[in-house]
Copies of this chain bind each other. A is one copy, B any other.
Amino acid sequence: MRQVGMRVGALAKRIGISVRALHHYDQVGLLSPARRSEAGYRLYSDGDIRRLQQIRSLQQLGLSLEEIRDLLDNRHVAPLTVIDLHLARVRQQVVQAQNLVDRLQQLAGHLHASACIDVEEALQTLEVMQMMEQHYTPEQLETLRGRAQELGAERIHTVEEVEWPTLIEQVRAALDSGQDPASPPVQQLAQRWMALVREFSGGDPGIERASMGFLREMHDSGDPRIDPRMSEYMAYIGKAMASNRGQK
C-alpha cells in the first residue's frame, strides 16, 4: 500500500486540503506526484507528502505558490532574503491595516455620535480629516485638536455653517461692487476674517501658513465644497490686510 503511493483523495483528507488544490499544485508545477497509475491516477510518494507539508507551512507564512516553488526547488534563492523581504511586506501590511482601523474607528465614532447621520456627511468629515493629516504636522494637529475642544462643538458648527458663509458672501459683494480694499468697510471684513482664522489657529503662524496650502490644495483639486472664487476672495482680503499694515 505504502509502496504504490496515496491517491489524491486520501492525501487531501490526510493533510486537510482540497483535491482541487492538489490538482492546482500539479498544474503549476509546485507538487507533481511521483508516479501515475495505469489509469492516470496521481500516486503520491512519502517524499511528496513531506513536500506538501512544507508547502502548507510556507503558505501559512503568507508566501505565494511561486515563491514557495522557488524556495523548495532552487537552492540559489537565498531563504534569508525571501523571508526577510516577506517579513518587511507583512510588517507593512500590519501598519496599513492599523491605519485603516484608526480611520474606521473615527468614522464609526462619527456615525454613532450623530445617530442617523448619512454616509455623505460622514465621508465629508473623513475626507477633511485625511486632508488635514496630509497638510499639518502632528504637533499642529495636536494644537488644533486642543483649540477645537476649547471652543466646543457648538461654536465650531456655528462658525462653519453660519459665520464663514456670511463673511464670504459679504466679501463677494464688496469685491463685485468694486470697493477699494483699503476702504473702512473692507478693512472691517479683513479684521473679521483674521479674527476667525485666529480663533482656530490659536495665533500659531505655522498653522496659518499650512491652512493656506490646505485651502489652495482643495481649491486646485476642484472640490465643489470650496467656492470656486475662493482664491479671488483671498487675494482681495490679502490686499486689504496689506494696506492696513502699510497704514500703520
Contact = CB atoms under 8 A, between A and B. Distances in A.
Interface of A: 14, 46, 49-50, 53-54, 57-58, 60-62, 71-72, 75, 79-80, 83-84, 86-87, 90-91, 93-94, 97-98, 100-101, 103-105, 107-108, 111-112, 118-120, 122-123, 126-127, 130, 221-224
Nearest to A92: B97
Nearest to A6: B222
Please give the count of copies of this chain that the complex contains. 2
B105 A87 contact: yes
A146 to B, nearest CB: 26
Q: Which 9 A-B residue pairs are closest in the complex by CB-CB distance? A: A87-B104, A94-B97, A79-B119, A93-B97, A90-B100, A80-B111, A83-B108, A57-B123, A54-B123
A94 to B, nearest CB: 5
A97 B101 contact: no
A68 to B, nearest CB: 10
Contacts of A50: 224
A80 B14 contact: no
A107 to B, nearest CB: 6
A141 to B, nearest CB: 19
Nearest to A108: B83
A195 B61 CA distance: 36
